Structures are given as structure tokens and as C-alpha cells.
Structure 1
Amino acid sequence: MRLYIVRHGETQWNTEGRLQGQADIPLNEKGRAIARATAMGMKEIHFDAAFTSPLIRARETAQIILGDRKISLEQDERIQEISFGEMEGCHVRGEDGQVVVPRFQDFFENPGAYMPPKGGESIQELCRRTGDFLEELKNRQELQGRTILAATHGAASRAMLLHITRRPVAEFWGSGVPKNCSVSIAELEQGEWILKKQDVCYYENF
């Protein structure tokens, strides 16, 4: 089994430094353009199955990448973005890109200590549900030896990679927040997920 984990394309809230979480924000024009470029880069891949977060920015990214492939797109809430509760929609980065809300300095710099706002999820809760998705995937007999697309989000994709690489929560962000439409590839070998490539981008000059 080979799994392509793709973060969604850009949204207006991405450009404004606002927390999206589970707010249902669509792609902007640049987001659609980089999704189309990613689709071109992945056009030779034969996908057998596809999963997406139910949020529109992930669904639209998956639909653009799949193009005219005759594959049903299965929505799964376990790979939607972490919930930021009452903080969704808030600006957390200044014009220089630096985090200006103290709570979210922990989210990005000390994830093990992050305390979610009211109504939000902890990173540990996010890791549990994305890990459950990956464990179920590898045990689905009809998907053995298949190639799969999973369209998801920044933090959710990092949680998936954390499960795949078996690293601690302290290393949650790894090389940082993934770029929009970046692709990571994992393969199932002898019943275990192995990370093969991380944060591949199929576009330039956007």
C-alpha cells in the first residue's frame, strides 16, 4: 500500500494569518492554481482509492488532483483539521508572520504543552483520531497493495506523519508547517508504515 498525504491548497484565511481549524473555508484562486499544478505533477499516478477531510478546502483539492479519474472520494472526519474552538477565525500572526497570541506560541513551538481554547482539541486528541484512520487503513483488506490519496490539513498531516514515524509529540511539527499542496508519501511494509518522502511540492513560482 502506498499513501499520498496532501495538504489542501491556499485559502484567504491562510494569507491573513487566521486560525481555520474546522471552519469551512474554500480555496482561493491561488489555492486552486497550485492544486492544478499539483494535479499535473501527479497525473501519472494510478490512484485506487481516495479519502478527504469533509472540509471544502480539502475536498476541492482532492477533486482537482483526481481530475477525471473514476474514483469515489470518501470523506472521513478523522483527517479533518484540529479544532481551535472559540479561537477559529482569530488572527494569530502579525504582518511579519510571527505568532502574536501567547497560547499559540506553544502550539507551534512547544506542542506537548499546548492547551486548547474552549471547545478546541488538544494535539494528543488530533493524533489519536488521525492514528486511528491510519491503523484502519492498513487493515482494510481491499486496499492491500493499492495506491491511495488522502487530502487533509497542516496540523492533521503532521499528526499523520508523527504516527507513521513513531516520533514523540514534542517533535510534532518536524520541519515546520507544511506548504499548501505539499505531498508526503508513506508505504506499508510488513505491516508497518514507512515514510518515503516528505513535503514534496509539484509547483514553483506562486
Structure 2
Amino acid sequence: MKLYIVRHGETPWNVKFKLQGTSDIPLNEKGILAAEKTGEALREVPFDICYTSPLQRAKETAGLILRGRNIPMIEDERIQEITFGVWEGRCCRPDAMEIPGEMLDNFFHHTERYQPPERGERISDVVKRTRDFFQEMIHRSDYEDKTILIASHGCAVRALLQNVYPPGDDFWHGKVPPNCGVNIVEAHKGVAKLIVEDAVYC
């Protein structure tokens, strides 16, 4: 089994440094082009099935990567982005910060200290639901010989990859995944390993 785990393309809110979370923001022109170029780079990959976050930016990215192919796309809420609650739509650019700087710093640099805002989600909750999804995938005997595209989000991608990162490693693995960054995981009989990390083809 091979899993191609991809972060969505750029959105208008990415450009404006707005926290998106589960707000349903579409791709911008650059994001569309990047997803198309990623699809071109992966055109020889024999995808069998696609799982995508229900959010538009992930679905659009998956659709553009798979354009012209008759491949099933299944929406799964377990791989949607972390919920930022009342922070969603607020700017996190350093010179125009609209949320407490210490809390944002904890989110990106000290995840064990991160406390979500009202109606927000803990990082541990994202890790739990994405682990449930990941383990289900790699233990499905009917997927043993399949190649699967997974379209998700920055925090959710890093949460998924906790299943293959070394124990005790930094949650973000040094950085937020780039837009349209591709991570490739090989799995056999429930054992998974990361073979490509954050590859960008655009």
C-alpha cells in the first residue's frame, strides 16, 4: 500500500495569514495552479481511491490532482483541519495579530502547552481522530495493494504523520507542511514508514 498524503493548495486566507480551521475557504488562483501542477507530476501514479477532508479547499485539490481520472473520492471528517473556534478568520501575521501571541506561539512551537480557544479543538483530539483514520487504512486487507490519495490540511497532515515519525519527535517536524506538499507512506500488513516528506512539485 502507498499513501500519498497531500496538503491543500493556497487559499485567500493563507495569503492574509487568517486562521482557517474548519472555515470552508476555496483555493485561490495560485492554489488551483499548484494543484494542477501537482497532478501533472503525479500523473503516472496509479491511484485507486481518494480520501479527502470534507472542506472545499481539500476537495478541490484532490479533484485537480485527479483530473480526468475516474477514481472514487470519499469524504472523511477525521482528516479535516483542526477547529480554531472563535479564532477562525482572525489574522495571525506578527504585525497585525488578532489573537494572543503566546497562545499562537504554543500552537506552533510548544504544542504540549497549547490551550484551544472557545469552541476550539485540542491538538491531541486531532491526533486521535487522524490516528483512527490512519490505522484503519493501513490495516485494511483489501487495501494492501492499493495506492491511495489523501487530501488534508496542515495540522491534520502533521497529525497523520505522527504515526510514522520517531517517538518524541516535534509535532510539526520543524515546519508547517507547504501548500500542495506531498508525503508518501508505504505500508505492509499494518507497518508503515515515511519514504517522501513534503515534496513540492509546483
Spell out, residue by residue over 1:23-65, the C-alpha distance to the aligned partner (whole angstroms, 9 max, x if none): 0000000000111111110011000110000000000000000
Task: Identify unmatched segments of 5+ residues in structure 1.
Answer: none
Change (3 A) 1:83 1:16: same
CA distance in 2 between partners of 1:122 and 1:158 (Å): 14
Q: Percent same amino acid among aligned pairs?
A: 45
Query: Is residue 2:91 matched to residue 1:91?
Result: yes
1:18 — aligned with what? 18
Specify the code of the residue in structure 1 equivalent to 2:53: S
Shift in Å, 1:159:
0.5
Q: Which residue of structure 1 lines up, in the alignment, with residue 185 of structure 2?
A: 186
Match of 2:66 in 1: 66
Alpha-carbon distance in 2 for matches of 1:136, 1:79: 12
Q: In the comparison of the two structures, how many residue pairs are matched?
A: 201
Q: 2: CA distance between counterparts of 1:167 and 1:32?
A: 35
Deviations 1:75-99 (A, max 9, x none): 00000000001111111123599x9
Matched residues in 2 for 1:143 and 1:96: separation? 46
Report the TM-score, using the length of structure 2 for normalisation: 0.95
- TM-score between both structures, scaled by the size of structure 1: 0.93
Which residue pairs with 2:173 in the alignment? Answer: 174
C-alpha distance in structure 2 between counterparts of 1:48 and 1:56, whole Å: 21
Determine if the alignment matches structure 1 residue 33 to structure 2 residue 39: no
Instruction: Verify the 8 A CA contact 1:94 1:100 in the aligned structure 2.
Output: no
What residue ranges of structure 2 are gaps of 5+ in the alignment? none
Counterpart-to-counterpart distance in 1, 2:165 and 2:101? 30
Distance 1:24 1:166 in 2: 32
Q: Could you tell me how far apart the structure 1 residues matched to 2:55 and 2:176 are?
A: 19
- How far the C-alpha of 1:22 sits from its partner, in A, is 0.3
CA contact (8 A) 2:4 2:149 kept: yes
CA deviation after TM superposition for structure 1 residue 184, in Å: 0.3
Task: Give, in whole Å, the separation in 2 of the partners of 1:96 and 1:148.
Answer: 40
Instruction: Give 1:131 shift.
Output: 0.4
